[in-house]
Amino acid sequence: MSPPTQTLAGTPGSLLGFVGRELKPKGKIFTPFNLISAPLILLGLVLIVIRFAYGLGSVTNLSQAYPWGLWIGFDVITGVAFAGGAYVLTFMVYILGMEKYRPIVRATVLNGFLAYAFYAGALLLDLGRPWNIVNPIIGNSFGYSSVLFLVAWHFLLYMAAQFLEFSPVVAEWLGLKRARKILAGLTVGAVIFGVTLSTLHQSGLGALFLMAKGKIHPLWYSEFIPVLFFWSSIFAGLSMVIIEGSISHRVFHDRLSPDVKRSNDAILVGLSRICGVAIFGYLFMKVLVLIHDGGFAELASGWGGWFLLEVVGFVAVPMVLFLWGAAKRGLWMIRIGAGMTLIGIILNRLNISVIAFKWYEVNRYVPSWEEIAVTLAVILAEIWVFRWVIRRMPVLSESPSWAQEQGH
């Protein structure tokens, strides 16, 4: 059981005292992860300052021919797919009543919220005029006809919905009993709203590439990209839940509630089964699209080999590992399948947005080391914040007794 936590409401000390206590490091400072990640985050911050001071050209290899690069292809498009576990899992728990997965729903929502917060922030880096990002919100050149208008509003509203879903945890941390009761009562509404938004903007990100017909290699371009983006976000998000949950189970072992410890293996097996079935549906659609678009002739080329590596190596093989792992209760197979699935999603999103984009050009876009360093810094900073929250709030640990009496 986790140690009792002093809260803001239950502490006679001041707000400053509470904040001071919570800001103190909890755990070892000089760990291998900290020693590697802290310099990289600092380097990323320096590069971000240079980017805003001297423009995109100072740190990126972007150009008029390639206005979207690694920051969009990985940070935003791939990152949003990885965050899909939040909407899938909340739908399973709050709408379908699959209580088996409730012990991990808070950590999944936190991971999803932080992913959107950091990746939406990373989107600012890629805008030539970042101050215009508020235009779709404040009514200055709304841009109703743009898919980006839909995506911008959905990002904003979905982040609000996710924060609302997570807010009971914050209320428990602060000891705000009445606020926690009110916020918990709003959770189901926020989940329904969030799931609706997710289905639309996951596919909306794919719809952006419908306007790039002729620029994306035929093996990756299809009028069904929006459907494939949405469907793949289901098993991408759940694979991230498996990986994140496996790491958290080891790193935050002292914070885990008895429920989380007891149900971990059964949850992984259940998620593996769902991933296997979802990937089968995705693979079936990919084959249908290939037949529909007559892309078999392209498979004999070098690009065809690259396409088969993605689809067979990082879609079909993980599907087998998931289904086999679920049948045999082989956790190592499930974790390998989840890791390979995440690599497959990275390949798919980068193939569409970067690698197979304008594949016919002689001078292709290759990300600079600065772009890679900033991307690593964004990921590591998110992990730092995730760890900070886990160490302080009842995300994986048990809720206070007064919150348990209030119910979910």
pLDDT in tens, 80-123: 999 999 999 999 999 999 999 999 999 999 999 999 888 777 78
CA–CA gap between residue 7 and residue 14 (Å, rounded): 11
> How confident is the model at residue 6, as a pLDDT?
58
Residue 216 β-bridge partners: 357
- The mean per-residue pLDDT over the stretch 363-389 comes to 94
Task: Assign 1 a pLDDT band (cuts: 50, 70, 90).
Answer: very low
* 375 burial type by CB count under 10 A (0-12 exposed, 13-18 middle, 19+ buried): buried
For residues 86 and 108, is the Cβ–Cβ distance under 8 A?
yes
> How confident is the model at residue 280, as a pLDDT?
97
> How confident is the model at residue 305, as a pLDDT?
95
If you average pLDDT over every residue of the chain, what do you get?
89
The closest of 31, 3, 78 to 387, measured between CA atoms, is: 31
Task: Assign 26 a pLDDT band (cuts: 50, 70, 90).
Answer: confident
- The mean per-residue pLDDT over the stretch 5-26 comes to 69
pLDDT in tens, 191-248: 999 999 888 888 888 988 998 888 999 999 999 999 999 999 999 999 999 999 999 9
> How confident is the model at residue 5, as a pLDDT?
53
CA–CA gap between residue 186 and residue 166 (Å, rounded): 11
pLDDT over 90 percentage in the chain: 60
Asked whether the predicted pLDDT for residue 2 surpasses 50, the reply is no
Cα torsion 404, 171, 257, 32 to 10°: value is: 180
Which of 65-69, 135-139, 161-165 comes out lowest in average pLDDT? Answer: 135-139
pTM, entire model: 0.90
